């Protein structure tokens, strides 16, 4: 894998899926057996098919075990110039392919849309599918962002599930994208209210935080790992202020792993 960024013009990689793996995953989804697949194994099979190969920077910062929280930007890109779109699931696949231990991902429960047609057709279908995929891999599925008042109970249940996992797993490695959704142009955006508070809870459980930047450069899909750090906020701050400060600190660490044009307000 490469160890230095290239200055070549941006092109678009090819992101093929091994169809045999897709078929096996769909069969597992239909059977709906909890924790019946290993995401790291499937991720390595997918990443091995990338053209050109995945480029990884900061390999010395890749954690080999927990307790650790992996935070990554929610990069995405639409279809451009005949190139297939980049979906955020490649971020989880790329990270899990290079981290030697199994990562417990926090994933969205559904795709949401502003128009009634897709909201009534695609959202329920993705909710069924994503919940089952999370169950098959043993992930925590979280109601989608932006927050919906109807999801308050479901979100609280998901948070409790995640915190229980962090408490009971022998060496938890948890992965999440604090933004919780796509942003225009793949540019880094502030996390929703409450995410900073969740990150602080995990930090107080002893999880160090590793920032990761996911992006496309020089015709390749790239991941850059930064050094682990401890998340702390002023004790005198109000709960709302601690939530905001924690979220901002985490996003700044992620921004440091990204090209300047993707850092947004966190330059």
Domain ranges of the chain: 29-107+157-260
Using CA atoms, how far apart are residues 146 and 41, in angstroms rounded to an integer?
Answer: 31
Average pLDDT estimate for 194-208: 95
Work out whether strand 208-217 and strand 220-225 pair parallel, antiparallel, or are unpaired: antiparallel
Rg (Cα) of the chain, in Å, rounded? 18
Task: Report CA-CA distances (Å) from 205 to 103, 169, 200.
Answer: 17, 12, 9
Answer yes or no: is pLDDT of 255 > 60. Answer: yes
Query: Is the pLDDT score of 39 beyond 90?
Result: yes
- Closest to 162 (Cα-Cα) out of 107, 215, 87: 107
Run of H or E residues at 44: helix 39-48
Adjacent-strand bridge partners of 69: 174, 209
pLDDT of residue 4 exceeding 50, the answer is no
Phi-psi sector, 162: left (phi>0), alpha (psi -120 to 50), beta: alpha
For residues 123-132, give the mean pLDDT: 93
* C-alpha 166: how far from chain center: 17
Instruction: Grade residue 112 by pLDDT with cuts at 50, 70 and 90.
Output: confident
Output the six-digit token pair for 102: 């199994």
- Mean predicted confidence (pLDDT) in 168-187: 92
Residue 131 token pair = 């919940």
Q: Which of 208, 14, 1 is nearest to 98 (CA)?
A: 1
pLDDT value at 74 more than 50: yes
* pLDDT (average), residues 31-48: 96
The one-character DSSP state at 79 is -
3 pLDDT band (50/70/90 cuts)?
very low
pTM passes above 0.85 = yes
pLDDT > 80? residue 147:
no
Local structure of 107: helix, strand or coil: strand
């Amino acid at each position: 894998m490469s160890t230095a960024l290239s200055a070549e013009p941006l092109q678009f990689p090819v992101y093929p899926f091994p169809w045999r793996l897709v078929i096996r995953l769909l069969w597992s989804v239909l059977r709906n057996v909890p924790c019946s697949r290993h995401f790291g194994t499937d991720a390595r099979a997918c990443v091995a098919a990338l053209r050109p190969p995945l480029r990884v920077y900061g390999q010395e910062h890749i954690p080999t075990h927990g307790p650790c929280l992996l935070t990554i930007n929610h990069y995405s890109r639409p279809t451009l110039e005949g190139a297939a779109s980049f979906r955020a699931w490649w971020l989880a696949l790329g990270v899990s392919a290079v981290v030697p231990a199994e990562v417990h991902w926090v994933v969205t429960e559904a795709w949401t849309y502003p128009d009634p047609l897709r909201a009534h057709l695609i959202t329920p279908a993705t909710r069924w599918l994503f919940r089952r995929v999370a169950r098959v891999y043993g992930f925590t599925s979280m109601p989608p962002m932006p927050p919906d008042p109807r999801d308050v109970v479901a979100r609280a249940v998901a948070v409790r599930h995640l915190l229980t996992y962090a408490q009971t797993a022998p060496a938890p490695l948890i992965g999440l994208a604090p933004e919780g959704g796509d942003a225009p142009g793949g540019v880094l955006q502030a996390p929703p209210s409450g995410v900073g508070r969740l990150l602080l809870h995990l930090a107080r459980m002893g999880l160090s935080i590793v920032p990761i930047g996911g992006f496309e450069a020089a015709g390749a899909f790239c991941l850059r790992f930064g050094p682990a750090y401890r998340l702390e906020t002023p004790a005198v701050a109000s709960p709302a202020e601690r939530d905001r400060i924690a979220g901002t600190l985490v996003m700044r660490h992620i921004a440091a792993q990204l090209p300047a044009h993707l850092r947004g307000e966190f330059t």
